[in-house]
Structure 1
Amino acid sequence: MCLELQKWIAQWLKGHRQYPVLEWKEYFSTLAGGVFPQHKLRLATEYLHEAGQLIFFREGALQEGGLAHESYVILDTDWFCRSIRTCLGS
């Protein structure tokens, strides 16, 4: 399943390099399309997060600072690092 997920991500990124971030609901509906059960998709996404293939901010992870109440999936880790570098002015 993780291999299929990585293939889908690579294909999706071809048209979404500008902002490769999805809320969990959009990620699930766009990706799953009835193919992956939500609990299996979540496990595969968590695995790919731990492997450094994507960044998965789970629901409530950013809640303390009032930033996010939803889960977000960042599908391009290089894009995220470049964005942070730009924000920090380095």
Structure 2
Amino acid sequence: MISLEQVKDMIQSQLPDAEVWVKDLGGGDHLEAVVVSTAFVGQSRVKQHQMVYVALQAALASEAIHALALKTFTPDAWAEAGQPI
């Protein structure tokens, strides 16, 4: 089983400036992650998600993470959604 903190650390290892929130949706392997990063500026939503999946590749391959609901934002998009960093 992988901890929520480990998932956060894995994402931040690829996206050092990222603000990351990870929540267990059940069973410890069904997770939701919200990631806000300047690295997403100018990238499509698909590319943003691919950037996060690269960071989590080993955990996904080993099925430590079975399912991941992923929400990605640029800092501006996050602010527009009314969310503080």
Q: TM-score with structure 2 length normalisation? A: 0.32
From the two aligned structures, give the one with the greater helix fraction: 1
